[in-house]
Amino acid sequence: MPSILEEVGGTITALAKGFGVTFRNLWRKTTTENYPDEPVHFEARYRGIHVLHRDENGLEKCVGCFLCAAACPAQCIYIEAADNTEAQRISAGERYASVYNIDYSRCIFCGYCVEACPTDAITHGHGFELATYDINSMIYRKEQLLEPGVPKASS
């Protein structure tokens, strides 16, 4: 008999806690984003469209190591690496990513690629407008992901 009373008491306690949360939030003022008339307010940890970064000299940080592609559970990152030459320097390392594609129709924005990158070349940005009628436009290429900037002439 005591176990039935404990179960009923636990159920009533759980219901009271749940209704407490509901009633506390019921009287709060709602928050409305006036998008597109006003800019969207993102949380600091928001995971949006990826950004490929450059270093302080304007060179790409990506060295074509394939760790981000290996860490991706959705297998949505495709990379082709090429070697840097002294005449044409793309990144600070020996290699660079000549092709860097992310298929956003498959990406789950998990952040494993960001965590796996040893050079901090890829991060999540604040881009969020991915809606399209054409599935082929969901594949973002290196030119679309790379942050703006022109490599500075080396002295």
d(CA 42, CA 33): 11
Flag whether the pTM goes above 0.85: no
Write down the mean pLDDT value for the chain. 91
pLDDT tens-place string over residues 83-119: 998 888 999 889 999 999 999 999 999 999 999 999 9
Range of the domain at 7: 1-30
55 with 130, same domain: the answer is: yes
Provide the CATH number for the domain around residue 140.
3.30.70.3270
16 with 59, same domain: the answer is: no
Q: Is residue 43 part of a domain?
A: no
Compute the CA torsion angle 56, 66, 69, 57 (nearest 10 deg): 10
